[in-house]
Structure 1
Amino acid sequence: MFLEYTGTHKHKFGWIEVICGSMFSGKTEELIRRLKRAEIAGQKVDIFKPEVDVRYDEEEVVSHDSNSIQSTPVRSSGNILILANDAQVVGIDEAQFFDDELVNVCVQLASLGKRVVIAGLDMDYLGRPFGPMPGLMSVAEYVTKVHAICMKCGSLANHSHRVIASQELVELGESQEYEPLCRGCFSLERDKEIGESKKGKK
């Protein structure tokens, strides 16, 4: 449940919502659902995604279930402040790929009275905090953590395990590049990969 700011300040403040989790956990699906409900309510909604994300469509946010909503690709988070000037609700997908300034941008948007809804991976493929996501989670009024299903054991998954050989931090992923894993299965896979890496260096 999301409550509007009801303080007694003369200036009306907005708020920040963060939807986070592993790949294939339904983050973008939930983002689209919230934004479409805002549109149905007659609110002006602007949606943004990083220019790097063109997996499904250059100008739409698209979930793995093929639900979509029109969006604007931007090169840096600072552009969002300018382009979202008239919006009541601002949606941001794949937030982990933006620069760290996104945290300040979202705080400014909320201070201008806007509702900011963000979706992104909370951890990279090595299980480390990803990009601006930790900062966004700390300044948000609402944080929703969603889970996929572990592809090894069927438990709730919170890790995105890369199954291709690549050392790049950013690999725009599909099901053939990543699999969601629970903490236990992810730990076992990482131990296996580290062991194989040590063997290869001998």
Structure 2
Amino acid sequence: MATSMIFGRDPEWTPPKEWPIPPVGGYTADDLDRLPNLPRHTELIDGSLVFASPQTVFHMRAIRLLQASLLHATPPALDVYSRMTVTLGPRNRPEPDVLVVESEACTELKETTFQPEDVVLAVEVVSEDSEARDRDTKPLKYAEARIPHFWRVELDEETELPVVHVFELEPTTKAYVATGIHREQLKVSVPFPVKIDLTAINRRQP
């Protein structure tokens, strides 16, 4: 039986008696590692803490499908992570749903965040509570940080399958350019060749 979740945490988690009061100018990226009792998957956007809402089945299955498929496709110089933060600056530390990073960036086992120069691809799976952040705020910040590739995953309400919007950074403008909308199958050659059967979202991955 499914159990109700608070902010995406396990049921045993209880909020602190008093929530932290934001400092003047907002929180910093380092505060995410120092503040006690933060819910899991807390992000920092423009100095404000953003808490994760309970995730849908589609959201979790989309992450599972993409992570498993990318792990099979990435060359040895790259690695794949799910829901790790990226420190874009002192006031921004978002948490993409899936990340492809340089393998050399993953030498410290206790590391809690990546630097943008180590990130090759950031993926956001859109949820109802995060539409504006996933469609507007985060892509803009990823592009400004020069992360070269960004995918946005949406639920097609009619087919109940994921639709993947693929973007590539135009380096002179530091803005993303849309390079394709993929339904049923995602097939791209950059940042490395990968083909993903999007209709497999409801199958258990090996």
Q: Which has the higher contact order (CA 8 A, sep 6+)?
A: 1
Q: TM-score, structure 2 length as denominator?
A: 0.30
Q: TM-score, structure 1 length as denominator?
A: 0.30
More strand by share: 2
